[in-house]
Amino acid sequence: MTTEDYRYTFDAIGDRLGSARLVNHQVGEDLTFQVAMDDHHLLYRSETDPLPQIADMVDLALAVHIADRFSGHASDRPVNIHITLPVRRPELFAAPAVIQTLHDALYWYTENSWSFTFERRTVERRRAERQTSFGAALRPAAQTEVTLWSGGLDSFAGLWQRQMQRPDVHYVLFGTGPNATILSRQQTLAKRFRSISPVLISLVQVPLRLRTPYRISRNRHPRTRGLVFLLLGAVCAHLEGQSALHLYENGVGAINLPFRATEVGVDHSRAVHPLSLLKMENLISLLLDAPFTIINPFLFQTKAEICAPLKGTAAEALAHLTISCDSRQRRRGQPIQCGRCSSCLLRRQALAAIELDDQTKYAHEDFVEPDDRFVLELMIGQRNMLRACLATTEPWITLRRHYPVLEKTVVRLAKATGVASEQITHQVLDLYMRYADEWDQVQHARNARSSRDQRWAA
């Protein structure tokens, strides 16, 4: 029998704050905190009564988010996490195929072991499930594309590309998260985007809200953000009558190869890795009992290539409002983006490569101290490794030897899409060749050591 490290027991999740209990067996701690689901922007009754498991998917996303946020990750073994959650369709969620697919997805994202007890929910539905919405009837007839809206540069630049290619589409942007700053930035970006684009754009947000005891410690590196975002985004897409969810993410960031051989597993985020999307497609399709797809149209573009169409347009002036940072600063009066984490550096490298003036305010504009350059040197080292692999007589064999996940990714993508593995292999090789070339275009940045006035991308 598996020993639990963390046990979470939720009351039925409602509109108002309800109880959730955490028993932390590692330290002998027993805590109660409060959670609620603010999903009133989801059009549960836009046409007909939805599948009851739709609201269950929302509750599952919130429960996983909370469990990941307050469970520590052991370095030497998987952590065992158990969740007890009341749902409307316990027989569906407890079905062996669903449980196995859910466990597989969660292990892929976290490398922890998860187990669940799904109880039957007996309290009334949330207000959002009961209300009738007339919003859908008031919208002009149009094709609809539901996409994740993170507040980041890729989602912003990707939307700019998509609306140029398909101006007749109604774009429904889905945002979520526990951070009020990010939620506010998502709103600001959507509003500003509407002011420069003639296409129809709607924003749907589902904030993740909870109230915790002051003494509870939080995991600084949650691993299920991608899973939670995709699960909630799929709910939004389904309620909009769509069987697909889009996201806009460059291929280098999505595949997210490790910088060093010593980095293993989830040291690097798997939020929107191609394998993550396939696993989530399987889970969501099982829960909906219908095929569902997750589409990243920019998988084989670099960040610079996604951002290039911004240059010389009204959107260029808004790019600095996006947030890319993995280590956001919380010091009063300081820019919130650090400027030296891998996400900030990829942003800065991409904008420098296309010579787009980066007006973003970073906490660290230059790299004076050796510690400031640590991640930068790792990224440059990775670029050198990629270049060395690609220069061999058998670049694919060499590349997959250094990064074994690439072969599995190509095989699974080929099987899922029907595209020949040789074609996908060529696209992957070409992606990293162009990415390495972009680093060459900003080679002078390696010498930005001394002048505090010299921006990284100068």
DSSP notation for 47-101: SSPPPTHHHHHHHHHHHHHHHHHTS---SSSPPEEEEEEEES-HHHHTSHHHHHH
Of the three residues 112, 129, 146, the one that is the final residue of a domain is 129
Average pLDDT estimate for 363-392: 87
Same domain, 269 and 403: no
What's the pLDDT at 2? Answer: 55
Q: Indicate the pLDDT class of residue 265, thresholds 50, 70 and 90.
A: very low
State how far the Cα of 329 lies from the Cα of 74, in Å rounded to an integer.
Answer: 26
Q: Could you tell me if residue 1 is inside a domain?
A: no
DSSP notation for 352-415: HHTT------BS--S--SGGGGHHHHHHHHHHHHHHHHHTSSSHHHHHHHH-THHHHHHHHHHH
CB of 378 within 8 A of CB of 260?
yes
Q: Indicate the pLDDT class of residue 290, thresholds 50, 70 and 90.
A: very high
Better-scored residue on pLDDT, 260 or 241:
241
Same domain, 439 and 393: yes
What's the pLDDT at 368? Answer: 63
With a cut of 60, say whether residue 455 has pLDDT above it: no
Q: What is the dihedral of CA 350, 354, 359, 365, to 10 degrees?
A: 50
Lowest mean pLDDT among 68-82, 87-101, 212-226, 329-343: 212-226
The structure's pTM equals 0.92
Same domain, 262 and 143: yes
Average pLDDT estimate for 354-379: 85
What's the pLDDT at 29? Answer: 86
State how far the Cα of 211 lies from the Cα of 35, in Å rounded to an integer.
Answer: 6
Q: Indicate the pLDDT class of residue 330, thresholds 50, 70 and 90.
A: low
With a cut of 90, say whether residue 163 has pLDDT above it: yes
Q: Could you tell me if residue 310 is inside a domain?
A: no
Whole-number percent of the chain with pLDDT over 70: 87
Q: In terms of residue numbers, what domain contains 253?
A: 134-295
Better-scored residue on pLDDT, 448 or 212:
212
Which of 161-175, 263-277, 360-374 has maximum average pLDDT?
161-175
State how far the Cα of 147 lies from the Cα of 157, in Å rounded to an integer.
Answer: 13
- The secondary structure of the chain in percent helix, strand, coil, rounded to multiples of 5, reads 45, 15, 40
Strand partners, 83: 8, 116
State how far the Cα of 223 lies from the Cα of 402, in Å rounded to an integer.
Answer: 24
Domains: count for the chain: 3
Whole-number percent of the chain with pLDDT over 90: 68
Q: Could you tell me if residue 183 is inside a domain?
A: yes
Q: Could you tell me if residue 358 is inside a domain?
A: yes
What's the pLDDT at 259? Answer: 87
With a cut of 50, say whether residue 267 has pLDDT above it: no
Locate 386 and state its tokens: 């990629």
Average pLDDT estimate for 17-30: 89
State how far the Cα of 409 lies from the Cα of 117, in Å rounded to an integer.
Answer: 32
Same domain, 193 and 279: yes
Q: Indicate the pLDDT class of residue 41, thresholds 50, 70 and 90.
A: confident
Q: Indicate the pLDDT class of residue 298, thresholds 50, 70 and 90.
A: very high
Burial level of 134, CB count in 10 A (0-12/13-18/19+)? exposed
Q: Indicate the pLDDT class of residue 132, thresholds 50, 70 and 90.
A: low
With a cut of 90, say whether residue 353 has pLDDT above it: yes
For the domain that residue 253 is a member of, what is the CATH number? 3.40.50.620
Of the three residues 129, 154, 186, the one that is the final residue of a domain is 129
State how far the Cα of 47 lies from the Cα of 49, in Å rounded to an integer.
Answer: 7
- Looking at residue 123, its amino acid is V
Same domain, 336 and 377: yes
What's the pLDDT at 46? Answer: 52
With a cut of 50, say whether residue 264 has pLDDT above it: no
Q: Indicate the pLDDT class of residue 449, thresholds 50, 70 and 90.
A: very low
Give the H/E segment covering residue 236. Answer: helix 225-239
- Looking at residue 292, its amino acid is F
Q: Over the stretch 53-108, which tens digit does the pLDDT of each residue have?
A: 999 999 999 999 999 999 977 666 789 999 999 999 999 999 999 999 999 999 99
CB of 185 within 8 A of CB of 151?
yes
Average pLDDT estimate for 241-248: 96
Q: Indicate the pLDDT class of residue 454, thresholds 50, 70 and 90.
A: very low
Helices (H) and strands (E) in the chain, counts: 16, 10
> Would you call 437 helix, strand, or coil by DSSP?
helix
Better-scored residue on pLDDT, 93 or 219:
93
Please provide the average confidence, as pLDDT, over all residues in the chain: 88
Q: Could you tell me if residue 44 is inside a domain?
A: yes
Same domain, 348 and 269: no
Lowest mean pLDDT among 43-52, 96-105, 194-203: 43-52
Same domain, 263 and 410: no
Q: Which has the closest alpha carbon to 241: 164, 145, 333?
A: 145
Report the half-sphere exposure of 207 (CA within 13 A, side-chain side): 17
Of the three residues 108, 129, 150, the one that is the final residue of a domain is 129
Q: Which has the closest alpha carbon to 443: 390, 379, 399?
A: 379
Same domain, 350 and 370: yes
With a cut of 60, say whether residue 448 has pLDDT above it: no
Q: Could you tell me if residue 140 is inside a domain?
A: yes
With a cut of 60, say whether residue 6 has pLDDT above it: yes
Q: Could you tell me if residue 454 is inside a domain?
A: no
Lowest mean pLDDT among 272-276, 280-284, 346-350, 453-457: 453-457
Q: Indicate the pLDDT class of residue 1, thresholds 50, 70 and 90.
A: very low
